[in-house]
Structures are given as structure tokens and as C-alpha cells.
A and B are shown apart, each in its own frame.
Chain A
Amino acid sequence: GAVVSQHPSRVICKSGTSVKIECRSLDFQATTMFWYRQFPKKSLMLMATSNEGSKATYEQGVEKDKFLINHASLTLSTLTVTSAHPEDSSFYICSARSRGTSSETQYFGPGTRLLVL
């Protein structure tokens, strides 16, 4: 149980285009999903917290107009990188907490490698 998927796993795009990344909880309902980015040989940095049916909360320094997050259902959250630039190239990882539990455990997706040319 507690499987989280991401799509796509890898994406290459041209500078200035927008890219959407999907995060799905496959066998549980997630009231809260988190989006992280990770640069090579670095730790995970939290970008935003996504709650189903409400606006995402962003960490300091993360542009909410550039990284659009939508959590339309209990099993799906999307991150859209708008007007992507080469510096947005990174590994984006989502995680999810299960609904109806006090568990703080976050289950992570496999990540999406974004390369902006």
C-alpha cells in the first residue's frame, strides 16, 4: 500500500514553455500532498503544501505564479512550471499523506526529471 506515482518521469522542454507534472496516490486518499525539488547531490527542499480543495501554501522564496499547484481531488495534485527556464531544471518529487490518519508519514513518488533547454 501507500503507492504514489508521478507522470511524466522525465521531460525535456524548450525555454518559455510550461510543463505539468502529475502526482497521484494510487491506493489511498491524500488530503495533503507536498512538492519538493532536488538539485544534484543535494537534499530535498519543500516547495509547497497542497491541500485538497484549497489553495496551496508556498515556502518562502518559491514563486506561486511560476509554480502553479492544483489539488482537485483526493488522489491527484498537479504542479505546473510556467514559462520554464534552464534554471528550473531539477528533480521534482511529490509526497502524500494519507487521509483519515494522524500519521505524519509521507510517501514519495518516483520523481520527475525536468530539463529545460
Chain B
Amino acid sequence: GESVGLHLPTLSVQEGDNSIINCAYSNSASDYFIWYKQESGKGPQFIIDIRSNMDKRQGQRVTVLLNKTVKHLSLQIAATQPGDSAVYFCAENSPNDYKLSFGAGTTVTVRA
């Protein structure tokens, strides 16, 4: 089965609110995690990444939190905009072969 999974398959957010997308992973050896955004009919787009020696990393309007104790990853999007509507995938990196394992994805829909 998948080693990375998401708690909720869909998330509906009011425009302007903050979004939180969660992800659980099972491989405690994973050392690198990435969040990708995929719009309909397009390839995944890199959003933000974090290494296992960190617990928080911030980008532009996005923050990734990593809790290694419970093997949990989250993506926070501030002031969600209509353009943020997409499917969001977390991915974990296998340290030996650089393969990525993807979670099931969360579909984020922004309400105007």
C-alpha cells in the first residue's frame, strides 16, 4: 500500500481564509518531504519542501510543518485564493534511491 497518505480527500475553503492540508507518512527513514500542487490536466508543481532535520519551513503564503514523532506533515496556505484550487499531494523521498512516494491527494476548492 501507499506509505504516504492524506487524512481528507477534499477541503472546501472560503476565499481569504487559511487552509490546512494534512498528510501522514509511515516510513520513519524518509528524510525529505515535498508538497506539490496539481491543477486539472497539468503536471505537479513544486510548492515547498522540508528536510527531516527541520520542523517548519515557510515560503510565500505557504508553511510546511513536520512532526516526526507522529509522522505527520501539513501544508498551510494563508489567505487562500481562487487560484489555489487544485489537488495537493505530499510526497516523501526514499533516502536510498531518490524515489518519491505520493499520498492520495487532497482536492482543495476555494469558495468565492
Contact = CB atoms under 8 A, between A and B. Distances in A.
- Asked if A pairs with B, the answer is yes
Interface of A: 4, 6, 32, 34, 42-46, 49, 93, 95, 97, 104-111, 113
Which of the listed residues B2, B45, B100, B104 has the most CB atoms from chain A within 10 Å of its own CB?
B100
Given A93-B44, A111-B43, A105 B102 contact: no
A108 B102 CA distance: 13
Contacts of A107: 46
B99 A109 contact: no
A34 B103 CA distance: 17
A113 B93 CA distance: 26
Interface residues on B, range: 20 to 34
Contact of B98 (A32, A43, A45): A32
Chain A facing B: main interface SS: strand
Contacts of B46: 105, 107-108
A110 B40 CA distance: 11
Interface in B58-94: 89, 93
A108 B36 contact: yes
Interface of B: 2, 32, 34, 36, 41-46, 49, 89, 93, 97-105
Contacts of A109: 43
Nearest to A110: B43
A105 B49 CA distance: 8
B98 A113 contact: no
B100 A106 contact: yes
A43 B89 contact: yes
A43 B104 contact: yes
Contacts of B100: 34, 46, 95, 104, 106
Given A49-B97, A105-B34, A44 B42 contact: no
6 contacts: A32-B98, A34-B100, A43-B104, A49-B97, A104-B98, A106-B100
Given A32-B98, A43-B102, A43-B103, A104 B43 contact: no
Contacts of A44: 44, 89, 102
